[in-house]
Amino acid sequence: MATRRDTTGAAARSAYAGVVAGTGRLSRAWEEQARNWIAWARRPGFDSWWHLRERFLALVPPPGAATLDLGCGEGRISRELRARGHRVHGVDASPTLVSAARDADHGGAYAVAEGTALPFADGVFDVVVSHNVLMDVDDLTGTVAEAARVLRPGGRSASPSLTRWRT
């Protein structure tokens, strides 16, 4: 991971503890490393997104009424999908990352949420995208089940793990 001093401090950790208390080890680690991730994700050419995004986006189903970006991070996938006509709801367990996503996209819809407890009714999304997320969650089975719950019957998911480390 890119090395950059973590400037989030106690305020972010406190906010995190209040919002997603009880979540697991990996979600906590993502919040702790949120500033590093923002620097990484926004550095052109730095990770697989920059090399593989056209191939990934070609796999994403066309826009419907609503698309969920599960594990949206600082929001780069949501922003790309919105530019392509998707009505995106981005969710992530990290308050710092969700705040960064909002700051970078004032018209977007972003929320702090745990992947195993999504704040949406059953079957409301036509598309669920989780780009490089499923290898990073504490509860893979619970997260996939929850994604399936919010996906409409016949809806489609695009959930790759595209890293140079072949996770």
Exposed/middle/buried for 87, CB within 10 Å: 0-12, 13-18, 19+?
Answer: middle
x/- contact string, 73-112, with ligand SAM (CB under 6 A)?
x--xx--------------xxx--x---------------
SS3 letters for 22-60? CCCHHHHHHHHCHHHHHHHHCCCCCCHHHHHHHHHHHHC
- Copy the structure tokens of residue 140: 């893979």
- Tell me if 35 contacts ligand SAM by CB under 6 A: no
Query: Total residues at the site for ligand SAM (CB under 6 A)?
Result: 22
Output the smallest distance, CB 129 to ligand SAM, in A: 8
Stretch that binds ligand SAM, among 10-18, 59-67, 128-136, 145-153 (CB under 6 A): 128-136
The residue nearest ligand SAM at its CB is 73
Output the smallest distance, CB 127 to ligand SAM, in A: 14
Q: Minimal CA–CA distance to 95: which of 163, 20, 161, 149? A: 20
